[in-house]
Amino acid sequence: MPLLTTLRHGTPTDLPPLLIVHGLFGSARNWGAIAKRMSDSRAVVAVDMRNHAGSFWDEEHTYPAMAADLAAVIEAEGQPMDVMGHSMGGKTAMWLALNRPELVNRLVVADIAPVSYGHSQNHLIAAMRGLDLSGLDSRREADARLAATVKDPGVRAFLLQSLDLKAEPPCWRLNLDALERQMDLITGWPDTSGLAPYTGPTLFLSGALSDYVTPEARPAIRALFPQARFAKLPGAGHWLHAEKPRDFEATLRVFFD
């Protein structure tokens, strides 16, 4: 399997390098501002996950497969890394820590828990598929067309970051077919029976306005991550890093430094 496409920031220091893992429909570029600022004291590597942005497409989009992709990136780096994952990336980072703990120094899980969720994001895939790409030459026009099916301007702006307007014809830099087929696996969580807990330092950082990490999920978190600490960003929802980037960055610094 080829290595994931990465964006690198900063240079190696005494601090461990930081690996940033984006969520569903995201990319390494989405995390550029935070990665760049965090790189003032360490090397930072942000990845494009499989079936996203610049990385390879594959029929399999499971957490074991995605965690193996991350393991290959860390092994190529030649040393364990601090790992921060958001949403789908947070679940991948958790699976990596549980299965390859020797690769993960410290772990931050952003607004997700090791549980199955009942929602699906296939309505957004349907909206992206339904977008008329003919004669499209500006993001503003794409936004206007997408508004017919996606009402939230923030969600539209996020999705449109994966639209390649320079391609001929314009296209989505997402393997929508594979993501749609395996949506139940993405919103689900693999069986962890038989896995030892990850005993490294772990922070579950969630948005105070988000309902992704509920009190009911804490026993599952504690069972798998006994060193887990919990923090909430006031005024932030599920996209906490985009809504409160400075607060998000400050929390990462306190935990990792």
Q: Can you list the alpha helix ranges (DSSP code H) found in 78-170?
A: 88-99, 122-130, 139-146, 153-160
Report yes or no: 61 and 50 within 8 Å, Cβ to Cβ: yes
Strands 104-110, 202-207: pairing is: parallel
Tell me which of 27, 87, 162, 210 is the catalytic residue: 87
Closest to 46 in 3D by CA, of 83, 97, 90? 83
Q: Which tokens hold the place of 204?
A: 């579950």
Of 224, 218, 239, give the one whose Cα is nearest residue 93.
Answer: 224
Tokens of 203: 């922070």
Q: 32: left (phi > 0), else alpha (psi -120 to 50), else beta?
A: alpha
Is residue 206 part of the annotated active site? The answer reads no
Q: Please tell me which residue in 9, 61, 238, 241 is annotated as part of the active site.
A: 238
Decide: residue 133, CB within 10 A, 0-12 exposed, 13-18 middle, 19+ buried. middle
| Spatial separation of the C-alpha atoms in residues 19 and 107, rounded to whole Å | 10
Out of 132, 137, 152, 177, the active site residue is 177
Is 40 annotated as catalytic?
A: no
Q: Which helix (H) or strand (E) holds 86?
A: strand 81-86
Tokens of 230: 């919990």
Catalytic: 52? no
Catalytic residues: 87, 177, 238
